[in-house]
Amino acid sequence: DQQVKQNSPSLSVQEGRISILNCDYTNSMFDYFLWYKKYPAEGPTFLISISSIKDKNEDGRFTVFLNKSAKHLSLHIVPSQPGDSAVYFCAASAWGRRRGGSNYKLTFGKGTLLTVNP
């Protein structure tokens, strides 16, 4: 049951260009979305997040867009740099709907391997 889907296993872009990573979700209870970046042999590192009350959140070179009606979000990286090469995971939670504050959890997509070529 893939509640969070990243349909592109890999993406390759040139340095300086825009990278667009996509994510779809099926669970309408999800109301908080996050992007994590993962290098080999390291744990996922938080990148950026967005609440369902917003449709855009920006942090430096990274912007996340949320289209609730389409149950789709995307991460834009502009300009892309070789150091951005990593696996990017989309994650979602039903943050506002958790019971008693004790069962907050993230559901991850399978990840997209981004390669930024110099």
Contact residues toward other proteins (CB under 8 A) are 32, 34, 36, 41-46, 49, 89, 95, 101-111
- Helix, strand, or coil (residue 96): helix
Closer Cβ to other proteins, 77 or 109, answer by number = 109
Closer Cβ to other proteins, 14 or 46, answer by number = 46
CB 112 to other proteins: min, Å: 11
Closer Cβ to other proteins, 56 or 105, answer by number = 105
CB 53 to other proteins: min, Å: 14
Structure tokens belonging to residue 51? 């609440």
Give how far Cα 98 sits from Cα of 41, 62, 85, 106, Å.
Answer: 31, 28, 34, 12
**Cα torsion through 24, 50, 31, 66, rounded to 10:** -40
Residue 73 dihedral angles phi and psi, to the nearest 5°: -135, 160
CB 96 to other proteins: min, Å: 11
